[in-house]
Amino acid sequence: MSEILRCENLTKRFGQTIALDGLSLLVGSGKIIGLLGPNGAGKTTLIKIACGLLTPTSGNVYIEGEKPGVRSKSIVSYLPDVEHLYHWMTVEQIVLMFRDFYEDFRPDLAYEMLARLGIDRKARLKTLSKGNKEKMSLILVMSRNAKLYVLDEPIAGVDPATRDYIISTILNNYNPDSSVLISTHLISDIETVLDEVIFIKDGRTVLHGSVDWIRQQYGKSVDELFREVFAW
């Protein structure tokens, strides 16, 4: 197992609020990892720092041993929790844009998945339904042969059919040598696909272990353990 993502003592403050409080973690390759925590635990902040969208107040983050930069961005495939695609583009234009910038992007695969959903290549992104926009973003992200996929709340606020679509799209397309980091607070929907979980609370890691180890150790589902750890 080689190291893909390493965080050392990460702290991030926004004015008075502390979003991350000395968080450290290590993510190896070939794993699907759940980043679990209640709203406001610091999941999105951590992800944004790893993707180079935020700078930590202190501490370091390394992607394959390097700080976020052009190289890390070329091997990390990121699905943010906001609609980030340029809404004024057509489906085809955004696919071509991904092809232009990411060497690991597979346009044929993206077109194939879009065709299966019945999304028209010439359609403008802003005319797509909310569900199709989300699927479109996921398709673009999963059509890359990345080293690390970072998916921020991919299943929040979607119906069960869409959730199944999202999970199977992830499982069908991720590169087995790479790792997938999925942040969510909806654990029971996703826990069976995870290798490992990282629980974060108040900007710190409170538990990091393999899912089967948790089931064996506690005799509980990850969801049940989560409810216990975060009970108040």
**Span near another protein by CB under 8 A; candidates 3-11, 58-66, 92-100, 114-122:** 92-100
Please report how close the Cβ of residue 8 comes to another protein at its closest, in angstroms.
Answer: 18
In the shown chain, the binding pattern of residues 171 to 210 toward another protein, with x for contact by CB under 8 A and - for none, equals: xx---x-----------x--xxxxx---------------
What part of residues 44-73 is at the interface with another protein (CB under 8 A)?
Answer: 48, 51-55, 70-71, 73
Kindly state whether residue 161 participates in binding another protein, applying the rule CB under 8 A.
no
Per DSSP bridges, beta strands 196-201 and 32-36 are: parallel
DSSP state of 119: -
Phi and psi, residue 223, nearest 5°: -60, -45
In the list 26, 89, 109, 156, the residue contacting another protein (rule: CB under 8 A) is 89
Identify which of residues 118 and 219 has a Cβ nearer to another protein in the complex: 219
164 is an interface residue for another protein by CB under 8 A: yes
What is the CA 126 to chain-centroid distance, rounded? 23
Contact 115, 123 (CB under 8 A): no
**For residues 210 and 212, what is the distance between their CA atoms, to the nearest angstrom?**
6
* All residues at 6 or more sequence positions from 110 whose CB lies less than 8 Å from its CB, including other chains: 95, 98, 139, 140, 143
Q: Write phi, then psi, for 130 (nearest 5 degrees).
A: -55, -45
Sequence length of the chain is 232
How many other CB atoms sit within 10 Å of the CB of residue 211?
19
Residue count, binding to another protein (CB under 8 A)? 52
Instruction: Establish if 130 lies at the interface with another protein (CB under 8 A).
Output: no
Binding site for another protein (CB under 8 A): 14-15, 30-32, 48, 51-55, 70-71, 73-74, 76, 78, 80, 82-86, 88-89, 93, 97, 100-102, 164, 167-168, 171-172, 176, 188, 191-195, 211-212, 215-216, 219-224
